[in-house]
Amino acid sequence: TDFGQGAASGKIILMGEHSVVYGKPAIALPFNQAQITSKIYKTDKEITIDCIYHQGELNTAPDNLYGIKQLINIVLIYLKQPFFGIHIKIESNLPSQRGLGSSAAVSIAVVRSLFDAFQVNLTQETLNHFVEIAEQIHHVNPSGLDATTIAFGKAVFYQKDIGKSVIPLRMDAILVVADTGVKGLTKEAVSDVKKLWKSNPNIINPIMDRLEELTNNVKVFLENNEVVRLGLAMTEAHQLLRSIDVSDDKLEELVDVALKSGALGAKLTGGGKGGCMIALATNMEQAILIADSLKQSGAAHTWFYDLKEIIT
Ligand code: PMV
């Protein structure tokens, strides 16, 4: 039996992906429809891990687990435990590399399980601290939006270097989340946008400014249940994101299909160039129609997200 457990959900970026990297605000929601769990077992051997990428000694894990390996190391030092004698089992129904925050979620689940195993109280600040380290290793220079939203588990309005506030959401609508089935290339997308920004600041800066305006507007729409306006803002944000070249053919197709199936708005979510998209529906009946059309157009998976159910 395990002697420590931790779990974390994913996240959805509603508004502000990419512009958040340039100091603009973003809005993200916890994605409780999918979860990552981490369980700790005692052994008398080197540290071992069991996850989709690797089963066996942590020391021989592939490069994509480098961040997690470092994180486990740092946490064990903090907890004054030897790098020895535990087995870590990670399970997930949150697809990875789809802009749903699986890397931050796995880090948070692991940190929670290790603190639970060694019965040390884990504060929000300590959790944030460790997860930011892991995200730095994983993503080089992340805005911190994923880590904040997942560690906090609430709808957040977030600005880099400034911080977060919780949005008192009052929205009677359903989000349909669809996975294109294509791996999102967040790192590439972020570095391509940086190149564009460096070579054409006069074009990119106004786009970032407009995304900022839309995000600020959406915060008010969420607080006042202005569903139609939220939809329009989402679609406009998508067009702006496409204009900085972070969309792709599949995302374009799914956004198009969602709008033609009656969605009030639709956009890519997360880093783009693959990954997921979201569509806004007035009610569950419409959401089901939209999800069916998305699946017929090749979406690998769809989820329903009732915005009424977000705890704020
Ligand atoms: O693809 P994701 O879910 O990791 O989201 C990336 C969000 C960006 O704004 C593109 C990058 C960032 O660091 O915030």
pLDDT, tens only, 151-168 = 888 999 999 999 999 998
CATH at 296? 3.30.70.890
Burial of 125 (0-12, 13-18, 19+ CB in 10 A): exposed
Q: Cα 311 to chain center, whole Å? A: 17
261 and 198 housed in the same domain: yes
Least Cα distance to 111 among 97, 95, 128 occurs for 128
260 and 296 housed in the same domain: yes
CA 142 to ligand 1: nearest atom: 13
158 and 219 housed in the same domain: no
* Residue 173, SS3 per DSSP: coil
Helices 145-152 & 102-117 angle (0-180, nearest 10) = 50
- Residue ranges making up the domain that contains 127: 4-166
186 and 88 housed in the same domain: no
Q: Is the pLDDT of residue 205 over 90?
A: yes
Kindly list the protein residues whose Cβ atom lies closer than 6 A to any atom of ligand 1: 13, 17-18, 20-21, 99, 101, 142-143, 145-146, 184, 186, 190, 270-271, 275
**pLDDT per residue as tens digits for the range 250-270:** 999 999 999 999 999 999 999
Report the greatest alpha carbon distance in the chain.
60
Q: Is the pLDDT of residue 312 over 70?
A: no
CA–CA distance, 105 with 281 (Å, rounded to integer): 27
DSSP string, 178-199: EE-SSPP-HHHHHHHHHHHHHH
Look at the block and give the residue holding tokens 């697809």. 95
DSSP 8-class letter at 309: G
Contact between 238 and 275 (Cβ < 8 Å): no
* Residue 204, SS3 per DSSP: helix
Q: Cα 263 to chain center, whole Å? A: 22
138 and 276 housed in the same domain: no
Q: Cα 87 to chain center, whole Å? A: 27
Model pLDDT, residue 311: 67
Burial 232-243 (b: 16+ CB within 10 A, else e): bbbbbbbebbbe
* Domain termination residue (choose one: 113, 131, 166): 166
CA–CA distance, 92 with 102 (Å, rounded to integer): 9
Q: Which two tokens stand for residue 35?
A: 């979860």
CA–CA distance, 233 with 304 (Å, rounded to integer): 20
Model pLDDT, residue 212: 98
Least Cα distance to 156 among 241, 235, 237, 218 occurs for 218
| Radius of gyration from C-alpha coordinates of the chain | 20
Q: Which of 9, 11, 15, 17 to mutate to test the pocket of ligand 1 (most atoms within 8 A of CB)?
A: 17
Query: Which sequence positions are flagged as catalytic?
Result: 146
Count how many domains the chain has.
2
Lowest mean per-residue pLDDT among 92-106, 138-152, 201-215, 276-290: 138-152
Mean of the per-residue pLDDT values for the chain?
Answer: 94
178 and 159 housed in the same domain: no
CA–CA distance, 167 with 278 (Å, rounded to integer): 19
218 and 91 housed in the same domain: no
* Domain termination residue (choose one: 112, 142, 166): 166
35 and 159 housed in the same domain: yes
Q: Is the pLDDT of residue 186 over 90?
A: no
**pLDDT per residue as tens digits for the range 84-128:** 999 999 999 998 889 898 888 999 999 999 999 999 999 999 998
Model pLDDT, residue 143: 86
Burial of 265 (0-12, 13-18, 19+ CB in 10 A): buried
Contact between 2 and 40 (Cβ < 8 Å): yes
106 and 132 housed in the same domain: yes
136 and 27 housed in the same domain: yes
CB atoms within 10 A of CB 142: 21
Contact between 11 and 146 (Cβ < 8 Å): yes
Average pLDDT over residues 206-223: 97
Q: Which of 31, 139, 143 to mutate to test the pocket of ligand 1 (most atoms within 8 A of CB)?
A: 143
**pLDDT per residue as tens digits for the range 278-306:** 999 999 999 999 999 999 999 999 999 99
CATH at 35? 3.30.230.10
Model pLDDT, residue 250: 97
Q: Which two tokens stand for residue 84?
A: 């020895």
Average pLDDT over residues 216-241: 97
18 and 114 housed in the same domain: yes
* Domain termination residue (choose one: 166, 196, 219): 166
Given pLDDT bands bounded at 50, 70 and 90, which one contains residue 140? low
Q: Is the pLDDT of residue 236 over 70?
A: yes
CA–CA distance, 56 with 79 (Å, rounded to integer): 23
Model pLDDT, residue 219: 97
| ipTM score assigned to the predicted complex | 0.93
197 and 304 housed in the same domain: yes
**185 Cα: distance to centroid of ligand 1 (angstroms):** 10
Percent of the chain with pLDDT over 90: 82
* Residue 140, SS3 per DSSP: coil
